Structure 1
Protein backbone atom coordinates (compact mmCIF):
# COMPACT_ATOMS: atom_id res chain seq x y z
CA UNK A 1 0.00 0.00 0.00
CA UNK A 2 1.42 3.37 -1.00
CA UNK A 3 2.18 6.16 1.46
CA UNK A 4 -0.46 8.24 -0.34
CA UNK A 5 -3.14 5.66 0.40
CA UNK A 6 -2.26 5.66 4.10
CA UNK A 7 -2.60 9.44 4.17
CA UNK A 8 -5.81 9.73 2.15
CA UNK A 9 -7.40 6.58 3.54
CA UNK A 10 -10.04 4.33 2.04
CA UNK A 11 -12.97 5.84 3.93
CA UNK A 12 -13.54 2.69 5.97
CA UNK A 13 -13.49 2.20 9.72
CA UNK A 14 -12.36 -0.93 11.57
CA UNK A 15 -12.61 -1.71 15.27
CA UNK A 16 -9.93 -4.02 16.69
CA UNK A 17 -10.11 -5.34 20.25
CA UNK A 18 -7.10 -6.28 22.34
CA UNK A 19 -5.20 -3.77 20.23
CA UNK A 20 -2.67 -2.39 22.70
CA UNK A 21 -0.12 -5.13 22.06
CA UNK A 22 0.65 -8.34 20.22
CA UNK A 23 -1.55 -9.60 17.41
CA UNK A 24 -4.16 -6.88 17.90
CA UNK A 25 -1.55 -4.17 17.59
CA UNK A 26 -0.10 -5.86 14.51
CA UNK A 27 -3.52 -6.01 12.86
CA UNK A 28 -4.20 -2.36 13.69
CA UNK A 29 -0.87 -1.18 12.27
CA UNK A 30 -1.37 -3.22 9.08
CA UNK A 31 -4.88 -1.84 8.48
CA UNK A 32 -3.72 1.73 9.08
CA UNK A 33 -0.98 1.19 6.48
CA UNK A 34 -3.70 0.10 4.05
CA UNK A 35 -5.64 3.31 4.65
CA UNK A 36 -8.20 2.22 7.25
CA UNK A 37 -9.30 4.36 10.14
CA UNK A 38 -8.81 2.03 13.12
CA UNK A 39 -10.45 2.14 16.52
CA UNK A 40 -8.09 0.42 18.95
CA UNK A 41 -9.92 -1.11 21.91
CA UNK A 42 -8.21 -2.43 25.02
CA UNK A 43 -8.52 -2.47 28.80
CA UNK A 44 -5.00 -1.05 29.17
CA UNK A 45 -5.86 2.63 28.96
CA UNK A 46 -2.32 3.94 29.43
CA UNK A 47 -0.62 1.72 26.86
CA UNK A 48 -3.54 1.92 24.45
CA UNK A 49 -3.38 5.69 24.39
CA UNK A 50 0.36 5.68 23.76
CA UNK A 51 0.04 3.10 20.99
CA UNK A 52 -2.71 5.06 19.25
CA UNK A 53 -0.63 8.23 19.45
CA UNK A 54 2.37 6.43 17.94
CA UNK A 55 0.26 5.03 15.08
CA UNK A 56 -0.87 8.48 14.05
CA UNK A 57 -4.06 10.27 13.11
CA UNK A 58 -5.76 7.17 11.70
CA UNK A 59 -5.69 5.51 15.13
CA UNK A 60 -8.30 6.26 17.81
CA UNK A 61 -8.26 4.57 21.20
CA UNK A 62 -11.18 3.51 23.40
CA UNK A 63 -10.84 1.77 26.78
CA UNK A 64 -13.25 -1.13 27.08
CA UNK A 65 -13.92 -4.38 28.93
CA UNK A 66 -15.50 -6.41 26.13
CA UNK A 67 -17.33 -8.63 28.63
CA UNK A 68 -19.41 -5.72 29.94
CA UNK A 69 -22.39 -5.11 27.66
CA UNK A 70 -23.05 -1.61 28.94
CA UNK A 71 -19.48 -0.60 28.10
CA UNK A 72 -19.73 -2.22 24.67
CA UNK A 73 -22.92 -0.32 23.87
CA UNK A 74 -21.45 3.02 24.96
CA UNK A 75 -18.20 2.49 23.05
CA UNK A 76 -19.95 1.55 19.80
CA UNK A 77 -22.15 4.63 20.11
CA UNK A 78 -19.02 6.75 20.58
CA UNK A 79 -17.40 5.21 17.51
CA UNK A 80 -20.46 5.97 15.40
CA UNK A 81 -20.59 9.48 16.76
CA UNK A 82 -16.94 10.02 15.94
CA UNK A 83 -16.77 8.41 12.49
CA UNK A 84 -20.34 7.91 11.33
CA UNK A 85 -19.81 4.34 10.14
CA UNK A 86 -18.27 0.96 10.89
CA UNK A 87 -17.03 -1.44 8.23
CA UNK A 88 -15.10 -4.15 10.06
CA UNK A 89 -14.94 -5.71 13.52
CA UNK A 90 -11.90 -7.75 14.57
CA UNK A 91 -12.42 -9.58 17.87
CA UNK A 92 -8.94 -10.30 19.19
CA UNK A 93 -9.20 -9.49 22.92
CA UNK A 94 -8.70 -12.59 25.03
CA UNK A 95 -7.44 -13.94 28.32
CA UNK A 96 -4.65 -16.19 27.06
CA UNK A 97 -3.26 -18.31 29.87
CA UNK A 98 -3.45 -21.88 28.53
CA UNK A 99 -1.76 -24.35 30.82
CA UNK A 100 -1.78 -21.97 33.77
CA UNK A 101 -4.22 -23.64 36.15
CA UNK A 102 -4.71 -27.38 36.74
CA UNK A 103 -8.32 -28.48 36.54
CA UNK A 104 -8.53 -29.39 40.24
CA UNK A 105 -7.44 -25.84 41.10
CA UNK A 106 -9.48 -24.04 38.45
CA UNK A 107 -11.82 -21.62 40.17
CA UNK A 108 -15.24 -21.18 38.64
CA UNK A 109 -14.61 -17.43 38.64
CA UNK A 110 -11.51 -17.91 36.46
CA UNK A 111 -13.42 -20.19 34.08
CA UNK A 112 -16.32 -17.73 33.86
CA UNK A 113 -14.08 -14.71 33.30
CA UNK A 114 -12.15 -16.46 30.52
CA UNK A 115 -15.34 -17.40 28.69
CA UNK A 116 -16.82 -13.96 29.32
CA UNK A 117 -13.93 -12.17 27.61
CA UNK A 118 -13.01 -14.74 24.97
CA UNK A 119 -16.49 -15.84 23.90
CA UNK A 120 -19.20 -13.56 25.30
CA UNK A 121 -17.17 -10.49 24.31
CA UNK A 122 -17.23 -11.28 20.57
CA UNK A 123 -20.95 -12.06 20.80
CA UNK A 124 -21.69 -8.74 22.49
CA UNK A 125 -19.59 -6.81 20.00
CA UNK A 126 -21.29 -8.54 17.06
CA UNK A 127 -24.69 -7.79 18.60
CA UNK A 128 -24.04 -4.09 18.98
CA UNK A 129 -22.02 -3.61 15.78
CA UNK A 130 -24.33 -5.58 13.49
CA UNK A 131 -26.69 -2.71 12.50
CA UNK A 132 -23.78 -0.51 11.45
CA UNK A 133 -21.82 -3.27 9.72
CA UNK A 134 -24.95 -4.27 7.81
CA UNK A 135 -25.33 -0.75 6.46
CA UNK A 136 -21.98 -1.05 4.66
CA UNK A 137 -21.84 -4.79 3.93
CA UNK A 138 -19.18 -5.08 6.59
CA UNK A 139 -17.18 -7.97 8.00
CA UNK A 140 -16.35 -9.64 11.30
CA UNK A 141 -13.14 -11.58 11.92
CA UNK A 142 -12.81 -13.52 15.17
CA UNK A 143 -9.30 -14.40 16.31
CA UNK A 144 -9.59 -17.97 17.60
CA UNK A 145 -6.66 -20.35 18.15
CA UNK A 146 -5.31 -23.74 17.16
CA UNK A 147 -6.05 -24.59 20.81
CA UNK A 148 -9.62 -25.08 19.63
CA UNK A 149 -8.37 -28.28 17.93
CA UNK A 150 -5.54 -29.57 20.12
CA UNK A 151 -4.47 -29.02 23.70
CA UNK A 152 -1.75 -29.15 26.27
CA UNK A 153 -2.44 -29.93 29.91
CA UNK A 154 -4.49 -27.54 32.02
CA UNK A 155 -6.00 -25.52 29.16
CA UNK A 156 -9.69 -26.23 29.72
CA UNK A 157 -11.01 -22.67 29.93
CA UNK A 158 -8.96 -21.30 27.06
CA UNK A 159 -9.60 -24.27 24.75
CA UNK A 160 -13.33 -24.23 25.47
CA UNK A 161 -13.57 -20.51 24.77
CA UNK A 162 -11.76 -20.79 21.45
CA UNK A 163 -13.73 -23.85 20.39
CA UNK A 164 -16.90 -21.94 21.17
CA UNK A 165 -15.64 -18.97 19.19
CA UNK A 166 -15.34 -21.13 16.07
CA UNK A 167 -18.94 -22.26 16.48
CA UNK A 168 -20.04 -18.71 17.15
CA UNK A 169 -18.34 -17.68 13.92
CA UNK A 170 -20.36 -19.91 11.63
CA UNK A 171 -23.55 -19.21 13.60
CA UNK A 172 -23.04 -15.48 13.11
CA UNK A 173 -22.29 -16.00 9.43
CA UNK A 174 -25.63 -17.77 9.03
CA UNK A 175 -27.54 -15.17 11.04
CA UNK A 176 -25.95 -12.01 9.65
CA UNK A 177 -25.52 -12.95 6.00
CA UNK A 178 -25.68 -11.98 3.27
CA UNK A 179 -24.97 -8.39 4.32
CA UNK A 180 -22.24 -9.25 6.86
CA UNK A 181 -19.51 -11.83 6.34
CA UNK A 182 -18.04 -13.54 9.42
CA UNK A 183 -14.83 -15.59 9.49
CA UNK A 184 -12.28 -16.80 12.03
CA UNK A 185 -8.49 -16.86 12.03
CA UNK A 186 -6.77 -19.43 14.27
CA UNK A 187 -3.13 -18.55 14.96
CA UNK A 188 -0.63 -21.13 16.14
CA UNK A 189 2.68 -20.08 17.66
CA UNK A 190 2.99 -16.36 16.91
CA UNK A 191 5.89 -14.44 18.44
CA UNK A 192 3.80 -11.45 19.47
CA UNK A 193 6.21 -10.11 22.08
CA UNK A 194 7.43 -6.53 22.11
CA UNK A 195 10.69 -5.94 20.17
CA UNK A 196 12.74 -5.50 23.34
CA UNK A 197 11.61 -8.83 24.75
CA UNK A 198 12.27 -10.61 21.47
CA UNK A 199 15.78 -9.17 21.42
CA UNK A 200 16.58 -10.10 25.02
CA UNK A 201 15.17 -13.64 24.77
CA UNK A 202 15.44 -14.71 21.12
CA UNK A 203 13.75 -17.88 19.94
CA UNK A 204 15.92 -20.92 19.31
CA UNK A 205 16.62 -22.78 16.09
CA UNK A 206 14.54 -25.65 17.46
CA UNK A 207 11.62 -23.29 17.96
CA UNK A 208 11.72 -22.38 14.30
CA UNK A 209 12.74 -25.73 12.81
CA UNK A 210 9.83 -27.67 14.29
CA UNK A 211 7.49 -25.70 12.03
CA UNK A 212 6.90 -27.05 8.53
CA UNK A 213 7.64 -23.62 7.05
CA UNK A 214 10.85 -23.37 9.10
CA UNK A 215 9.96 -20.49 11.40
CA UNK A 216 7.68 -19.29 14.16
CA UNK A 217 4.89 -16.98 13.04
CA UNK A 218 4.79 -13.19 13.24
CA UNK A 219 1.95 -10.79 13.90
CA UNK A 220 2.22 -9.74 10.26
CA UNK A 221 1.33 -13.29 9.20
CA UNK A 222 -2.00 -12.90 10.98
CA UNK A 223 -2.55 -9.24 10.11
CA UNK A 224 -2.15 -9.75 6.37
CA UNK A 225 -4.77 -12.50 6.38
CA UNK A 226 -7.21 -10.43 8.42
CA UNK A 227 -6.76 -7.51 6.03
CA UNK A 228 -7.56 -9.79 3.09
CA UNK A 229 -10.64 -11.26 4.77
CA UNK A 230 -12.19 -7.86 5.40
CA UNK A 231 -11.38 -6.70 1.89
CA UNK A 232 -13.41 -6.97 -1.29
CA UNK A 233 -11.32 -9.84 -2.66
CA UNK A 234 -12.76 -12.18 0.00
CA UNK A 235 -16.37 -11.36 -0.85
CA UNK A 236 -17.38 -15.00 -1.42
CA UNK A 237 -15.95 -16.25 1.90
CA UNK A 238 -17.94 -16.51 5.10
CA UNK A 239 -18.36 -18.89 8.03
CA UNK A 240 -14.83 -20.24 7.59
CA UNK A 241 -11.79 -20.85 9.78
CA UNK A 242 -8.30 -20.02 8.53
CA UNK A 243 -5.41 -21.65 10.41
CA UNK A 244 -2.15 -19.69 10.54
CA UNK A 245 0.33 -22.04 12.23
CA UNK A 246 3.20 -22.83 9.89
CA UNK A 247 1.75 -26.28 9.28
CA UNK A 248 1.98 -27.50 12.88
CA UNK A 249 -1.56 -28.87 13.10
CA UNK A 250 -0.91 -30.94 9.96
CA UNK A 251 2.38 -32.36 11.21
CA UNK A 252 2.53 -35.94 12.45
CA UNK A 253 4.71 -35.99 15.58
CA UNK A 254 6.08 -39.03 17.36
CA UNK A 255 8.42 -39.03 20.34
CA UNK A 256 11.77 -40.67 19.61
Structure 2
Protein backbone atom coordinates (compact mmCIF):
# COMPACT_ATOMS: atom_id res chain seq x y z
CA UNK A 1 0.00 0.00 0.00
CA UNK A 2 3.10 2.20 -0.14
CA UNK A 3 1.90 4.63 -2.80
CA UNK A 4 -1.76 4.91 -1.82
CA UNK A 5 -3.46 8.13 -0.77
CA UNK A 6 -6.28 8.61 1.75
CA UNK A 7 -8.42 11.52 2.87
CA UNK A 8 -9.71 11.45 6.47
CA UNK A 9 -12.33 13.86 7.79
CA UNK A 10 -12.14 14.97 11.44
CA UNK A 11 -8.63 13.56 11.39
CA UNK A 12 -6.94 15.62 14.09
CA UNK A 13 -8.25 14.03 17.30
CA UNK A 14 -9.82 10.88 18.66
CA UNK A 15 -10.65 8.07 16.27
CA UNK A 16 -9.72 10.23 13.29
CA UNK A 17 -6.23 10.88 14.61
CA UNK A 18 -5.70 7.16 15.23
CA UNK A 19 -6.80 6.41 11.66
CA UNK A 20 -4.53 9.10 10.19
CA UNK A 21 -1.47 7.85 12.09
CA UNK A 22 -2.20 4.19 11.37
CA UNK A 23 -2.52 4.88 7.65
CA UNK A 24 0.67 6.93 7.66
CA UNK A 25 2.54 4.19 9.53
CA UNK A 26 1.33 1.69 6.91
CA UNK A 27 2.88 3.78 4.15
CA UNK A 28 -0.12 5.76 2.96
CA UNK A 29 0.02 9.44 2.06
CA UNK A 30 -2.73 11.10 4.09
CA UNK A 31 -4.78 14.30 4.10
CA UNK A 32 -6.55 15.21 7.34
CA UNK A 33 -9.43 17.69 7.36
CA UNK A 34 -10.51 19.12 10.70
CA UNK A 35 -12.16 22.26 12.01
CA UNK A 36 -9.60 22.49 14.84
CA UNK A 37 -6.45 24.08 13.41
CA UNK A 38 -4.62 23.76 16.75
CA UNK A 39 -5.13 20.00 16.77
CA UNK A 40 -4.12 19.71 13.11
CA UNK A 41 -0.84 21.48 13.89
CA UNK A 42 0.08 18.61 16.24
CA UNK A 43 0.01 16.03 13.44
CA UNK A 44 3.31 14.99 11.81
CA UNK A 45 4.59 17.19 8.99
CA UNK A 46 4.12 14.34 6.52
CA UNK A 47 0.34 14.72 6.82
CA UNK A 48 -1.35 17.24 4.50
CA UNK A 49 -3.70 19.20 6.76
CA UNK A 50 -6.75 21.20 5.75
CA UNK A 51 -8.53 23.35 8.32
CA UNK A 52 -12.23 23.72 7.67
CA UNK A 53 -15.80 22.62 8.28
CA UNK A 54 -16.74 19.49 6.32
CA UNK A 55 -20.34 20.60 6.53
CA UNK A 56 -19.32 23.11 3.84
CA UNK A 57 -19.17 21.44 0.42
CA UNK A 58 -16.60 23.96 -0.81
CA UNK A 59 -14.18 22.89 1.97
CA UNK A 60 -14.57 19.25 0.97
CA UNK A 61 -14.06 19.97 -2.73
CA UNK A 62 -10.96 22.07 -1.99
CA UNK A 63 -9.46 19.40 0.27
CA UNK A 64 -9.87 16.72 -2.39
CA UNK A 65 -8.39 18.98 -5.06
CA UNK A 66 -5.42 19.79 -2.83
CA UNK A 67 -4.90 16.10 -2.06
CA UNK A 68 -4.78 15.12 -5.73
CA UNK A 69 -2.55 18.09 -6.52
CA UNK A 70 -0.10 17.14 -3.74
CA UNK A 71 -0.07 13.36 -4.08
CA UNK A 72 -1.28 12.77 -7.64
CA UNK A 73 -4.18 10.46 -6.82
CA UNK A 74 -6.85 9.44 -4.29
CA UNK A 75 -7.40 5.81 -3.25
CA UNK A 76 -9.53 6.04 -0.14
CA UNK A 77 -11.85 8.27 1.86
CA UNK A 78 -12.55 7.82 5.57
CA UNK A 79 -15.57 9.84 6.68
CA UNK A 80 -15.11 10.24 10.42
CA UNK A 81 -16.66 13.65 11.12
CA UNK A 82 -19.52 13.75 13.58
CA UNK A 83 -21.03 16.14 16.13
CA UNK A 84 -24.12 16.10 18.32
CA UNK A 85 -26.84 18.44 19.56
CA UNK A 86 -28.35 16.45 22.39
CA UNK A 87 -31.29 17.69 24.42
CA UNK A 88 -34.97 17.15 25.20
CA UNK A 89 -37.12 16.76 22.10
CA UNK A 90 -39.48 19.49 23.26
CA UNK A 91 -36.70 22.08 23.22
CA UNK A 92 -34.53 20.91 20.36
CA UNK A 93 -32.82 23.61 18.33
CA UNK A 94 -33.66 22.39 14.84
CA UNK A 95 -31.01 24.60 13.25
CA UNK A 96 -28.45 22.78 15.41
CA UNK A 97 -29.94 19.47 14.29
CA UNK A 98 -29.49 20.50 10.65
CA UNK A 99 -25.84 21.31 11.39
CA UNK A 100 -25.39 17.85 12.91
CA UNK A 101 -26.82 16.31 9.74
CA UNK A 102 -24.63 18.48 7.49
CA UNK A 103 -21.41 17.57 9.32
CA UNK A 104 -22.15 13.93 10.11
CA UNK A 105 -24.16 12.81 7.08
CA UNK A 106 -24.28 15.27 4.19
CA UNK A 107 -20.47 15.57 4.25
CA UNK A 108 -20.29 11.90 3.25
CA UNK A 109 -22.24 12.67 0.09
CA UNK A 110 -19.94 15.63 -0.54
CA UNK A 111 -16.78 13.52 -0.34
CA UNK A 112 -18.34 10.90 -2.61
CA UNK A 113 -19.54 13.54 -5.08
CA UNK A 114 -16.13 15.17 -5.41
CA UNK A 115 -13.96 12.11 -4.80
CA UNK A 116 -15.58 9.33 -6.85
CA UNK A 117 -13.94 10.24 -10.15
CA UNK A 118 -10.50 10.29 -8.50
CA UNK A 119 -11.12 6.94 -6.79
CA UNK A 120 -12.10 5.39 -10.12
CA UNK A 121 -9.04 6.89 -11.80
CA UNK A 122 -6.88 5.22 -9.14
CA UNK A 123 -8.49 1.84 -9.79
CA UNK A 124 -11.63 1.93 -7.69
CA UNK A 125 -10.56 2.30 -4.11
CA UNK A 126 -12.78 2.30 -1.05
CA UNK A 127 -14.78 4.54 1.26
CA UNK A 128 -15.20 3.82 4.97
CA UNK A 129 -17.84 5.74 6.92
CA UNK A 130 -17.66 5.93 10.71
CA UNK A 131 -21.19 5.49 12.07
CA UNK A 132 -21.94 4.48 15.67
CA UNK A 133 -23.65 1.81 17.71
CA UNK A 134 -26.17 4.64 18.32
CA UNK A 135 -27.47 3.83 14.85
CA UNK A 136 -28.75 0.60 16.43
CA UNK A 137 -29.61 1.59 20.02
CA UNK A 138 -30.22 4.85 21.89
CA UNK A 139 -30.26 6.75 25.14
CA UNK A 140 -32.88 9.44 25.81
CA UNK A 141 -32.41 12.87 24.22
CA UNK A 142 -29.99 11.76 21.48
CA UNK A 143 -32.28 12.11 18.47
CA UNK A 144 -30.02 14.30 16.35
CA UNK A 145 -26.93 12.11 16.78
CA UNK A 146 -28.86 8.85 16.40
CA UNK A 147 -30.62 10.08 13.27
CA UNK A 148 -27.34 11.18 11.72
CA UNK A 149 -25.55 7.92 12.50
CA UNK A 150 -28.52 5.85 11.36
CA UNK A 151 -28.34 7.83 8.15
CA UNK A 152 -24.62 7.01 7.84
CA UNK A 153 -25.42 3.28 7.87
CA UNK A 154 -28.17 3.75 5.27
CA UNK A 155 -26.15 5.99 2.99
CA UNK A 156 -23.32 3.46 3.16
CA UNK A 157 -25.30 0.69 1.49
CA UNK A 158 -26.87 3.19 -0.91
CA UNK A 159 -23.45 4.46 -2.02
CA UNK A 160 -22.17 0.89 -2.25
CA UNK A 161 -24.85 0.21 -4.84
CA UNK A 162 -24.42 3.50 -6.71
CA UNK A 163 -20.61 3.45 -6.80
CA UNK A 164 -20.36 -0.28 -7.35
CA UNK A 165 -22.59 -0.22 -10.41
CA UNK A 166 -20.60 -0.18 -13.63
CA UNK A 167 -21.74 0.86 -17.09
CA UNK A 168 -18.99 -1.29 -18.57
CA UNK A 169 -16.33 -3.68 -17.32
CA UNK A 170 -13.63 -1.04 -17.71
CA UNK A 171 -15.17 1.09 -14.94
CA UNK A 172 -13.72 -0.02 -11.59
CA UNK A 173 -16.23 -0.37 -8.73
CA UNK A 174 -15.79 1.61 -5.52
CA UNK A 175 -16.38 -0.31 -2.30
CA UNK A 176 -18.24 1.48 0.52
CA UNK A 177 -18.39 0.17 4.08
CA UNK A 178 -19.28 1.47 7.54
CA UNK A 179 -17.90 0.91 11.01
CA UNK A 180 -20.12 1.46 14.05
CA UNK A 181 -17.93 1.98 17.12
CA UNK A 182 -19.34 1.47 20.58
CA UNK A 183 -17.75 3.03 23.67
CA UNK A 184 -14.32 4.19 22.49
CA UNK A 185 -12.08 6.00 24.98
CA UNK A 186 -10.56 8.92 23.07
CA UNK A 187 -9.01 10.85 25.98
CA UNK A 188 -5.39 9.96 25.16
CA UNK A 189 -5.97 10.87 21.50
CA UNK A 190 -7.03 14.48 21.99
CA UNK A 191 -4.86 17.52 21.31
CA UNK A 192 -2.32 18.31 24.04
CA UNK A 193 -4.47 20.89 25.81
CA UNK A 194 -7.37 18.41 26.17
CA UNK A 195 -5.50 15.12 26.51
CA UNK A 196 -6.32 12.99 29.55
CA UNK A 197 -5.69 9.50 30.85
CA UNK A 198 -8.77 7.28 30.98
CA UNK A 199 -10.39 6.28 34.26
CA UNK A 200 -12.68 3.26 33.97
CA UNK A 201 -14.45 1.43 36.76
CA UNK A 202 -15.03 -2.30 37.00
CA UNK A 203 -18.65 -1.60 36.05
CA UNK A 204 -17.50 0.19 32.89
CA UNK A 205 -15.43 -2.81 31.86
CA UNK A 206 -18.07 -5.35 32.81
CA UNK A 207 -20.55 -3.80 30.37
CA UNK A 208 -18.34 -5.21 27.62
CA UNK A 209 -18.09 -8.98 27.05
CA UNK A 210 -14.60 -8.23 25.69
CA UNK A 211 -13.65 -7.08 29.20
CA UNK A 212 -12.59 -3.52 28.45
CA UNK A 213 -13.60 -0.19 26.93
CA UNK A 214 -12.63 0.30 23.29
CA UNK A 215 -9.61 2.20 22.02
CA UNK A 216 -9.24 4.30 18.84
CA UNK A 217 -6.64 1.80 17.67
CA UNK A 218 -9.40 -0.84 17.52
CA UNK A 219 -11.21 1.23 14.92
CA UNK A 220 -8.06 2.23 13.02
CA UNK A 221 -7.09 -1.42 12.53
CA UNK A 222 -10.53 -2.18 11.10
CA UNK A 223 -10.26 0.80 8.74
CA UNK A 224 -6.90 -0.47 7.48
CA UNK A 225 -8.44 -3.87 6.74
CA UNK A 226 -11.51 -2.48 4.96
CA UNK A 227 -9.32 -0.29 2.74
CA UNK A 228 -7.04 -3.18 1.85
CA UNK A 229 -7.49 -5.44 -1.18
CA UNK A 230 -7.94 -8.34 1.26
CA UNK A 231 -11.40 -6.89 1.92
CA UNK A 232 -12.20 -6.76 -1.79
CA UNK A 233 -15.41 -8.78 -1.38
CA UNK A 234 -16.80 -6.53 1.39
CA UNK A 235 -19.08 -3.65 0.46
CA UNK A 236 -22.32 -2.17 1.75
CA UNK A 237 -21.73 -3.65 5.21
CA UNK A 238 -21.76 -2.14 8.69
CA UNK A 239 -19.12 -3.57 11.05
CA UNK A 240 -20.11 -3.07 14.70
CA UNK A 241 -17.03 -2.80 16.95
CA UNK A 242 -18.29 -2.48 20.50
CA UNK A 243 -16.71 -5.25 22.56
CA UNK A 244 -20.02 -7.09 22.37
CA UNK A 245 -21.89 -4.39 24.30
CA UNK A 246 -24.89 -4.18 21.98
CA UNK A 247 -25.38 -7.96 22.20
CA UNK A 248 -25.41 -8.17 25.99
CA UNK A 249 -28.83 -8.68 27.57
CA UNK A 250 -29.48 -6.55 30.65
CA UNK A 251 -32.10 -7.47 33.25
CA UNK A 252 -33.45 -4.81 35.60
CA UNK A 253 -34.74 -6.13 38.93
Q: Provide the rounded CA distance (Å) in 2 between the counterparts of 1:128 and 1:154.
A: 34
Poorly superposed stretches of 4+, deviation over 6 Å: none
Structure-to-structure mapping, 1:125-204, within 5 angstroms: 125-136=111-122, 137-177=124-164, 179-194=173-188, 197-199=195-197, 202-204=199-201
CA contact (8 A) 1:64 1:75 kept: no
Is 60-69 or 234-243 further displaced after alignment?
A: 60-69
Look up the SS of the partner of 2:138 in the other structure.
Answer: coil
Look up the SS of the partner of 1:221 in the other structure.
Answer: helix
In the superposition, the TM-score normalised over structure 2's length comes to 0.92
How far the C-alpha of 1:105 sits from its partner, in A, is 1.2
CA contact (8 A) 1:15 1:40 kept: yes
Q: Provide the rounded CA distance (Å) in 2 between the counterparts of 1:191 and 1:96.
A: 17
CA contact (8 A) 2:7 2:64 kept: no
How far the C-alpha of 1:194 sits from its partner, in A, is 2.6
How far the C-alpha of 1:34 sits from its partner, in A, is 0.7
Structure 1 residue 102 and structure 2 residue 88: aligned? Answer: yes
How far the C-alpha of 1:56 sits from its partner, in A, is 4.2
2:24 equivalent among 29, 32, 35: 32
Q: Provide the rounded CA distance (Å) in 2 between the counterparts of 1:212 and 1:102.
A: 31
Look up the SS of the partner of 2:59 in the other structure.
Answer: helix
> Which residue of 2 is the match for residue 78 of structure 1?
66
Structure 1 residue 230 and structure 2 residue 227: aligned? Answer: yes
**Hey, which of these two has a bigger chunk of helix by percent?**
1
Which structure 1 segments of 5+ residues have no match?
1-8
Look up the SS of the partner of 1:101 in the other structure.
Answer: coil
Per-residue CA deviation, residues 24-46 of structure 1 (Å, 9 max, x unaligned), is: 00111111111111111101112
Structure 1 residue 124 and structure 2 residue 110: aligned? Answer: yes
Structure 1 residue 243 and structure 2 residue 237: aligned? Answer: no
CA contact (8 A) 2:84 2:144 kept: no
Per-residue CA deviation, residues 4-37 of structure 1 (Å, 9 max, x unaligned), is: xxxxx70000111111100000111111111111
RMSD over aligned Cα atoms: 1.4
Per-residue CA deviation, residues 139-173 of structure 1 (Å, 9 max, x unaligned), is: 00000000001000000000000111111000100
How far the C-alpha of 1:215 sits from its partner, in A, is 0.3
Which structure 2 segments of 5+ residues have no match?
165-171
Structure 1 residue 10 and structure 2 residue 2: aligned? Answer: yes
In the superposition, the TM-score normalised over structure 1's length comes to 0.90
> Which residue of 2 is the match for residue 252 of structure 1?
249
Structure-to-structure mapping, 1:34-49, within 5 angstroms: 34-49=26-41
For this pair of structures, how many residues does the alignment match?
A: 241
Is 130-139 or 182-191 further displaced after alignment?
A: 130-139
How far the C-alpha of 1:101 sits from its partner, in A, is 1.1
Per-residue CA deviation, residues 93-138 of structure 1 (Å, 9 max, x unaligned), is: 11045xx311111111111000111110111111100000111211
1:23 equivalent among 15, 20, 24: 15
How far the C-alpha of 1:63 sits from its partner, in A, is 1.2
Structure 1 residue 50 and structure 2 residue 42: aligned? Answer: yes
Look up the SS of the partner of 1:254 in the other structure.
Answer: coil
